[in-house]
Amino acid sequence: MTEDVSFKDKVAIVTGAGRGLGRAMALALARAGAHVIGLAARDRTELDAVAREADNIVPMIADVSREDDCDRVILAAMQRFGRLDILVNNAGRGMKFVSEDFMTNPSRFWEVDPHAWRLVIDTNVNGPFLMARAAVPAMIASGWGRIINVSVSNGTMRRRGFSPYGPSKAALESETVIWAQDLAGTGVTVNALLPGGPTLTGMVPDSLPAERRAQLLRPEIMVPPLLWLASEKSNGVTGMRFNAAKWRAVIPDGDAAAGARESPGWNAD
Protein backbone atom coordinates (compact mmCIF):
# COMPACT_ATOMS: atom_id res chain seq x y z
CA MET A 1 0.00 0.00 0.00
CA THR A 2 1.20 3.56 -0.66
CA GLU A 3 1.07 4.33 3.05
CA ASP A 4 4.33 2.45 3.54
CA VAL A 5 6.24 4.45 0.91
CA SER A 6 9.10 6.52 2.32
CA PHE A 7 10.57 9.50 0.53
CA LYS A 8 13.38 10.11 3.01
CA ASP A 9 16.14 12.20 1.37
CA LYS A 10 14.04 12.67 -1.81
CA VAL A 11 13.53 16.23 -3.07
CA ALA A 12 10.30 17.28 -4.74
CA ILE A 13 8.97 20.43 -6.35
CA VAL A 14 5.21 20.98 -6.42
CA THR A 15 3.94 23.92 -8.44
CA GLY A 16 0.71 25.62 -7.45
CA ALA A 17 1.18 24.33 -3.90
CA GLY A 18 -0.75 27.01 -2.04
CA ARG A 19 -4.22 25.54 -2.39
CA GLY A 20 -6.35 22.74 -3.79
CA LEU A 21 -4.64 19.79 -5.43
CA GLY A 22 -1.17 21.28 -5.03
CA ARG A 23 -1.58 21.78 -1.30
CA ALA A 24 -2.78 18.20 -0.82
CA MET A 25 0.09 16.76 -2.88
CA ALA A 26 2.80 18.91 -1.28
CA LEU A 27 1.66 17.93 2.21
CA ALA A 28 1.44 14.24 1.26
CA LEU A 29 5.00 14.16 -0.08
CA ALA A 30 6.31 16.08 2.93
CA ARG A 31 4.54 13.80 5.40
CA ALA A 32 6.05 10.82 3.58
CA GLY A 33 9.50 12.25 4.27
CA ALA A 34 10.40 14.26 1.16
CA HIS A 35 11.93 17.71 1.18
CA VAL A 36 9.34 19.72 -0.74
CA ILE A 37 9.73 23.06 -2.46
CA GLY A 38 6.22 24.44 -2.82
CA LEU A 39 5.64 27.12 -5.42
CA ALA A 40 3.01 29.77 -5.94
CA ALA A 41 3.00 32.60 -8.44
CA ARG A 42 1.60 35.33 -6.23
CA ASP A 43 0.04 34.55 -2.85
CA ARG A 44 2.73 34.01 -0.23
CA THR A 45 0.13 33.94 2.57
CA GLU A 46 -1.44 30.67 1.39
CA LEU A 47 1.95 29.13 0.72
CA ASP A 48 3.29 30.02 4.15
CA ALA A 49 0.20 28.47 5.73
CA VAL A 50 0.93 25.19 3.93
CA ALA A 51 4.58 25.31 5.02
CA ARG A 52 3.51 25.69 8.65
CA GLU A 53 1.77 22.32 8.40
CA ALA A 54 5.02 20.47 7.63
CA ASP A 55 8.55 21.49 8.61
CA ASN A 56 10.04 20.08 5.42
CA ILE A 57 8.12 22.32 2.98
CA VAL A 58 10.11 25.27 1.64
CA PRO A 59 7.83 27.99 0.20
CA MET A 60 8.95 29.93 -2.89
CA ILE A 61 7.23 32.53 -5.03
CA ALA A 62 7.84 31.73 -8.69
CA ASP A 63 5.82 32.10 -11.88
CA VAL A 64 6.17 28.93 -13.96
CA SER A 65 5.46 30.87 -17.16
CA ARG A 66 8.75 32.76 -16.65
CA GLU A 67 11.90 30.94 -17.73
CA ASP A 68 14.10 32.81 -15.23
CA ASP A 69 11.83 31.85 -12.34
CA CYS A 70 11.91 28.16 -13.31
CA ASP A 71 15.68 28.18 -13.56
CA ARG A 72 15.90 29.94 -10.18
CA VAL A 73 13.75 27.27 -8.49
CA ILE A 74 15.87 24.39 -9.80
CA LEU A 75 19.06 26.18 -8.79
CA ALA A 76 17.65 26.71 -5.29
CA ALA A 77 16.80 23.01 -5.00
CA MET A 78 20.28 21.94 -6.07
CA GLN A 79 22.05 24.46 -3.85
CA ARG A 80 20.00 23.58 -0.77
CA PHE A 81 19.60 19.82 -1.18
CA GLY A 82 22.10 18.79 -3.87
CA ARG A 83 19.51 16.83 -5.85
CA LEU A 84 16.06 16.86 -7.44
CA ASP A 85 13.93 13.73 -7.72
CA ILE A 86 10.28 14.67 -8.29
CA LEU A 87 8.53 17.43 -10.22
CA VAL A 88 4.75 17.79 -9.92
CA ASN A 89 3.47 20.17 -12.60
CA ASN A 90 0.24 21.22 -10.93
CA ALA A 91 0.10 25.01 -11.36
CA GLY A 92 -2.76 25.95 -13.63
CA ARG A 93 -5.20 28.64 -14.57
CA GLY A 94 -8.81 27.72 -15.24
CA MET A 95 -11.86 29.13 -16.95
CA LYS A 96 -12.43 31.71 -14.21
CA PHE A 97 -9.79 33.80 -15.98
CA VAL A 98 -12.10 33.88 -19.00
CA SER A 99 -15.44 34.34 -17.24
CA GLU A 100 -16.80 34.01 -13.70
CA ASP A 101 -20.00 32.39 -15.00
CA PHE A 102 -18.34 29.93 -17.38
CA MET A 103 -20.36 27.03 -15.95
CA THR A 104 -23.72 28.56 -16.83
CA ASN A 105 -22.86 30.90 -19.70
CA PRO A 106 -20.05 29.34 -21.73
CA SER A 107 -17.97 31.63 -23.93
CA ARG A 108 -17.47 30.74 -27.56
CA PHE A 109 -13.83 30.69 -28.57
CA TRP A 110 -13.99 33.88 -30.64
CA GLU A 111 -15.41 35.70 -27.61
CA VAL A 112 -12.40 34.85 -25.43
CA ASP A 113 -10.11 37.79 -24.73
CA PRO A 114 -6.68 37.06 -26.26
CA HIS A 115 -4.97 38.13 -23.03
CA ALA A 116 -6.94 35.52 -21.05
CA TRP A 117 -6.13 32.89 -23.70
CA ARG A 118 -2.40 33.61 -23.45
CA LEU A 119 -2.53 33.64 -19.65
CA VAL A 120 -4.03 30.14 -19.50
CA ILE A 121 -1.74 28.71 -22.19
CA ASP A 122 1.36 30.28 -20.63
CA THR A 123 0.66 28.64 -17.28
CA ASN A 124 -0.88 25.31 -18.32
CA VAL A 125 1.27 24.48 -21.37
CA ASN A 126 4.43 26.60 -21.30
CA GLY A 127 4.82 26.37 -17.51
CA PRO A 128 5.21 22.56 -17.37
CA PHE A 129 7.61 22.73 -20.32
CA LEU A 130 9.80 25.37 -18.68
CA MET A 131 9.83 23.57 -15.34
CA ALA A 132 10.57 20.16 -16.87
CA ARG A 133 13.21 21.63 -19.17
CA ALA A 134 15.02 23.12 -16.17
CA ALA A 135 14.59 20.03 -13.96
CA VAL A 136 15.48 17.20 -16.32
CA PRO A 137 19.29 17.67 -16.52
CA ALA A 138 19.67 17.05 -12.77
CA MET A 139 17.39 14.02 -12.94
CA ILE A 140 19.22 12.52 -15.91
CA ALA A 141 22.55 13.07 -14.15
CA SER A 142 21.33 11.03 -11.16
CA GLY A 143 19.72 8.35 -13.35
CA TRP A 144 16.30 8.67 -11.70
CA GLY A 145 13.40 11.10 -11.66
CA ARG A 146 9.65 11.52 -11.74
CA ILE A 147 7.68 14.13 -13.67
CA ILE A 148 3.96 14.12 -12.90
CA ASN A 149 1.70 16.37 -14.96
CA VAL A 150 -1.73 17.16 -13.51
CA SER A 151 -4.37 16.66 -16.18
CA VAL A 152 -8.17 16.55 -16.50
CA SER A 153 -10.83 14.24 -17.92
CA ASN A 154 -11.09 13.78 -21.67
CA GLY A 155 -14.58 15.27 -21.49
CA THR A 156 -13.17 18.52 -20.10
CA MET A 157 -10.71 18.70 -23.00
CA ARG A 158 -13.62 18.59 -25.45
CA ARG A 159 -16.29 20.44 -23.50
CA ARG A 160 -18.17 23.23 -25.26
CA GLY A 161 -17.14 26.66 -23.99
CA PHE A 162 -13.93 25.41 -22.37
CA SER A 163 -11.42 27.24 -24.55
CA PRO A 164 -8.60 27.66 -23.74
CA TYR A 165 -8.58 25.41 -20.64
CA GLY A 166 -9.54 22.23 -22.49
CA PRO A 167 -7.00 22.72 -25.29
CA SER A 168 -4.29 23.52 -22.73
CA LYS A 169 -4.77 20.19 -20.95
CA ALA A 170 -4.90 18.29 -24.25
CA ALA A 171 -1.53 19.86 -25.04
CA LEU A 172 -0.21 18.80 -21.62
CA GLU A 173 -1.14 15.19 -22.35
CA SER A 174 0.72 15.43 -25.65
CA GLU A 175 3.72 16.79 -23.75
CA THR A 176 3.47 13.84 -21.37
CA VAL A 177 3.54 11.25 -24.17
CA ILE A 178 6.36 12.90 -26.10
CA TRP A 179 8.56 13.66 -23.10
CA ALA A 180 8.25 10.07 -21.90
CA GLN A 181 9.65 8.91 -25.24
CA ASP A 182 12.40 11.53 -25.21
CA LEU A 183 13.47 10.36 -21.73
CA ALA A 184 13.33 6.62 -22.44
CA GLY A 185 16.30 4.82 -20.94
CA THR A 186 17.31 7.68 -18.61
CA GLY A 187 15.50 6.47 -15.49
CA VAL A 188 13.25 9.54 -15.62
CA THR A 189 9.55 8.86 -16.15
CA VAL A 190 6.72 11.17 -17.18
CA ASN A 191 3.08 10.45 -16.40
CA ALA A 192 -0.18 12.37 -16.10
CA LEU A 193 -2.45 12.27 -13.06
CA LEU A 194 -6.03 13.57 -12.94
CA PRO A 195 -8.62 13.70 -10.17
CA GLY A 196 -11.23 12.04 -12.37
CA GLY A 197 -14.08 14.49 -11.88
CA PRO A 198 -15.02 17.99 -10.72
CA THR A 199 -12.86 18.78 -7.70
CA LEU A 200 -13.12 21.32 -4.90
CA THR A 201 -10.35 23.75 -5.88
CA GLY A 202 -9.95 27.45 -6.52
CA MET A 203 -11.01 26.89 -10.13
CA VAL A 204 -14.61 26.31 -9.03
CA PRO A 205 -16.68 29.49 -9.48
CA ASP A 206 -17.91 31.15 -6.30
CA SER A 207 -21.43 31.10 -7.73
CA LEU A 208 -21.64 27.29 -7.66
CA PRO A 209 -24.57 26.31 -5.40
CA ALA A 210 -23.72 24.75 -2.05
CA GLU A 211 -25.41 21.47 -2.93
CA ARG A 212 -23.26 21.14 -6.07
CA ARG A 213 -20.14 22.13 -4.16
CA ALA A 214 -20.79 19.37 -1.61
CA GLN A 215 -20.69 16.78 -4.41
CA LEU A 216 -17.21 17.74 -5.61
CA LEU A 217 -14.22 15.44 -5.13
CA ARG A 218 -11.78 16.37 -2.38
CA PRO A 219 -8.21 17.31 -3.42
CA GLU A 220 -6.83 14.48 -1.24
CA ILE A 221 -8.10 11.99 -3.81
CA MET A 222 -4.80 12.60 -5.63
CA VAL A 223 -2.60 11.40 -2.77
CA PRO A 224 -2.53 7.56 -3.13
CA PRO A 225 -1.72 7.51 -6.89
CA LEU A 226 0.68 10.43 -6.50
CA LEU A 227 2.74 8.63 -3.86
CA TRP A 228 2.89 5.51 -6.00
CA LEU A 229 3.85 7.40 -9.17
CA ALA A 230 6.52 9.38 -7.32
CA SER A 231 8.08 6.29 -5.74
CA GLU A 232 10.35 3.44 -6.76
CA LYS A 233 7.24 1.27 -7.04
CA SER A 234 6.40 2.83 -10.41
CA ASN A 235 9.78 2.09 -12.02
CA GLY A 236 9.35 1.58 -15.75
CA VAL A 237 5.87 3.12 -15.90
CA THR A 238 5.95 6.10 -18.23
CA GLY A 239 3.89 7.87 -20.86
CA MET A 240 0.61 6.94 -19.18
CA ARG A 241 -2.11 8.72 -17.26
CA PHE A 242 -3.79 7.69 -14.03
CA ASN A 243 -7.32 8.50 -12.91
CA ALA A 244 -7.36 9.11 -9.16
CA ALA A 245 -11.10 8.45 -8.94
CA LYS A 246 -10.46 4.89 -10.13
CA TRP A 247 -7.67 4.22 -7.61
CA ARG A 248 -8.71 1.69 -4.96
CA ALA A 249 -6.50 2.31 -1.96
CA VAL A 250 -7.69 -0.86 -0.16
CA ILE A 251 -5.99 -3.20 -2.65
CA PRO A 252 -2.28 -3.70 -3.43
CA ASP A 253 -0.70 -0.77 -5.25
CA GLY A 254 0.04 -2.71 -8.41
CA ASP A 255 -3.59 -3.72 -8.76
CA ALA A 256 -4.78 -0.21 -7.89
CA ALA A 257 -2.48 1.27 -10.52
CA ALA A 258 -3.70 -1.17 -13.16
CA GLY A 259 -7.29 -0.20 -12.41
CA ALA A 260 -6.56 3.52 -12.58
CA ARG A 261 -4.34 3.45 -15.66
CA GLU A 262 -5.64 5.03 -18.85
CA SER A 263 -4.15 5.75 -22.25
CA PRO A 264 -3.31 9.44 -22.57
CA GLY A 265 -4.90 11.43 -25.33
CA TRP A 266 -8.32 12.51 -26.37
CA ASN A 267 -10.43 9.36 -26.74
CA ALA A 268 -13.86 9.22 -25.16
CA ASP A 269 -13.91 8.27 -21.45
- Annotated catalytic residues are 165
Q: Which amino acid is at 218?
A: R
The total of other beta-carbon atoms located within 10 Å of residue 160's CB is 10
Torsion 129-133-138-141 (CA) sign: positive
Strand partners, 86: 12, 146
Contact between 55 and 77 (Cβ < 8 Å): no
CA distances from 63 to 29, 73, 104, 125, 126 (A): 21, 10, 30, 13, 11
Torsion of CA 6, 7, 8, 11, to 10 degrees: 180
Q: Which amino acid is at 256?
A: A
Q: Which amino acid is at 213?
A: R
Contact between 145 and 191 (Cβ < 8 Å): no
